[in-house]
Amino acid sequence: MPGPLQGIRVIDITTNISGPSLTMILADMGAEIIKIEKPKIGDDSRKMGPLWGGEGVYYLHINRNKRSIVIDLKSEEGKEIVYDLVKDGDVFVENFRFGKAEQLGFGYETLKALNDELVYCSLSAYGQVGEKRHKPGYDAIAQAESGIMSINGTKDGGVARVGVSVLDQGSAMWGAIGILAALYNRTQSGKGQRVETSLFETGIFWTGYHLLAYMATGVEPVKMGTNHASFAPYGAFETKDEQIMIGISNDSLFAKLCKVLEREDWIADSRFSKNLARVQNRELLNSSIEEVLKTKSANAWIEQLENGGIPSSIILKIPSVITSPQTESTQMLIDVDHPNIENLRLPRLPVQLSETPLEITKSPPFLGEDTISILEERGVAPDTIRELVEKGVIQVHSKYVEN
């Protein structure tokens, strides 16, 4: 069954992480992605370690379901190939620094003049306004500038970068949300439009609750380790062996917890009966709970807590996540055929559509794997293709070079 975006063509001149993560979302939804890469090295993420079968893991992670064409975007003939693709394309995505797309001849106004149904998306580090728009930026830098880093870590330890790329991946999702809304709106208006998002703005949005809490109270949010400022008990607790997470967000759940811990006296204890009191007496509460938990193993407690309806979990490490029964049941890891990698498994998108299912049908392409087929589909003659290769305007994956 085709995906929900079948028939949509995306011209993708993005590199590294955020841009390709965005177009992967559209790719899994059945859009055709024409990934335009620079000659010789292609997308930088191809060489970001660790490598697997010669390809960077970063690249493998976010480039399935795409076609790769190598074009020198600085050459006039290269630009003409892009303009030709734009004329009947649906979506164009760039993640250059501010001004660079215009400089290369791929600014919004230029492409809109070629195709006013085009949805044009810019994904940058800092956005299209403000002094910092000229600055380069990465996920971790935007985490620092948006305040996320300042509230991430244990209470007395140093700050930490969030261990997963929340701003690269989050901004990719916001870009996809904007593009999808623009495509929907185009079915009403008949016109495309410009979509903009950035790592920095995504970071500000993620911290929204903390920004509001500070505006409301004047109390500066701080690092809370595994705890949560608004709820108690909420966090990691020692048991006889390893730590477990317990999350209690209201008084009736707390009463259930007390039953499991066989400390029903706490339910009416004024220090613990209400969430506000529990938050104020967090340290005493946490140590009292740990005293009980230390009498049994993590697995024994999890079984009892689950039976008691308490949100709780072992703190799984990456190897255990891969083999966990729920990862299996939800089929989050999909086997993908790859010429150079046995046993390649890639995480599917965490959303499913019943009538137009998302699928992984093509492994991440080799550099220039689809150069010839894309140009042939555009009606470019074989002699011209050969000439463009010789001039260095385009590049073809060695496996696909004609003799």
User: Which residues are known to be catalytic?
Assistant: 228
- The interface with a copy of itself within residues 141-160 (CB under 8 A) comprises 141, 143-154, 157-160
- The reply on whether position 293 binds a copy of itself by CB under 8 A is no
- The reply on whether position 333 binds a copy of itself by CB under 8 A is yes
Segments in 263-317 forming alpha helices (H): 275-280, 282-293, 298-307
Q: Which of 165, 239, 363, 371 binds a copy of itself (CB under 8 A)?
A: 165
* Residue 246 region by backbone torsions, left for phi larger than 0, else alpha for psi between -120 and 50, else beta: beta
Q: Are 18 and 170 in contact (CB under 8 A)?
A: no
Using alpha carbons, select from 376, 369, 372 the residue that is nearest to residue 339: 369
Q: Which of 40, 80, 181, 303 binds a copy of itself (CB under 8 A)?
A: 181
DSSP 8-state symbol, 221? P
Q: Which of 104, 114, 177, 380 binds a copy of itself (CB under 8 A)?
A: 177
Using alpha carbons, select from 146, 148, 210, 199 the residue that is nearest to residue 170: 199
**Helix pair angle (199-206, 166-189), 10° resolution:** 100
How far CA 101 is from CA of 109, 123, 156, 229, 280, in Å, comes to 11, 11, 44, 43, 53
Nearer to a copy of itself, 28 or 370 (CB): 28
- Which range in 54-62, 72-80, 291-299, 373-381 contacts a copy of itself by CB under 8 A? 54-62
- Which range in 80-88, 222-230, 289-297, 367-375 contacts a copy of itself by CB under 8 A? 222-230
- The interface with a copy of itself within residues 230-259 (CB under 8 A) comprises 230-231, 234-236, 243, 245, 247, 249-250
DSSP 17-39: THHHHHHHHHHHTT-EEEEEE-T
Q: How far is the CB of 387 from a copy of itself (least distance, A)?
A: 32
Tokens for 256? 């259930």
Nearer to a copy of itself, 150 or 386 (CB): 150
Q: How far is the CB of 385 from a copy of itself (least distance, A)?
A: 31
Using alpha carbons, select from 214, 174, 178 the residue that is nearest to residue 195: 178
Nearer to a copy of itself, 219 or 403 (CB): 219
Q: Which of 15, 115, 197, 395 binds a copy of itself (CB under 8 A)?
A: 197
Nearer to a copy of itself, 321 or 401 (CB): 321
Burial of 4 (0-12, 13-18, 19+ CB in 10 A): middle
- The interface with a copy of itself within residues 7-46 (CB under 8 A) comprises 7, 16, 25, 29, 44
Q: Total binding residues for a copy of itself by CB under 8 A? A: 153
**Per-residue contact track with a copy of itself, 57 to 96, x per CB under 8 A?**
xx-xx-----------------------------------
- The reply on whether position 304 binds a copy of itself by CB under 8 A is no
Q: Are 261 and 255 in contact (CB under 8 A)?
A: no
Nearer to a copy of itself, 217 or 403 (CB): 217
- Which range in 75-83, 139-147, 291-299, 374-382 contacts a copy of itself by CB under 8 A? 139-147
Q: Are 255 and 266 in contact (CB under 8 A)?
A: no
- The reply on whether position 173 binds a copy of itself by CB under 8 A is yes
Using alpha carbons, select from 279, 256, 243, 93 the residue that is nearest to residue 176: 93
**Residue that the structure tokens 């400089």 belong to:** 103
Q: Which of 105, 107, 117, 169 binds a copy of itself (CB under 8 A)?
A: 169
Tokens for 358? 């998302």
Using alpha carbons, select from 245, 244, 214, 241 the residue that is nearest to residue 229: 214
Q: State the amino acid at position 308 in one-letter form.
A: G
- The interface with a copy of itself within residues 334-353 (CB under 8 A) comprises 343, 345-353
* Beta strands at 32-37 and 9-12: parallel, antiparallel or unpaired: parallel
Q: How far is the CB of 262 from a copy of itself (least distance, A)?
A: 21
Q: How far is the CB of 266 from a copy of itself (least distance, A)?
A: 20
- The interface with a copy of itself within residues 306-325 (CB under 8 A) comprises 306, 309-322, 324-325
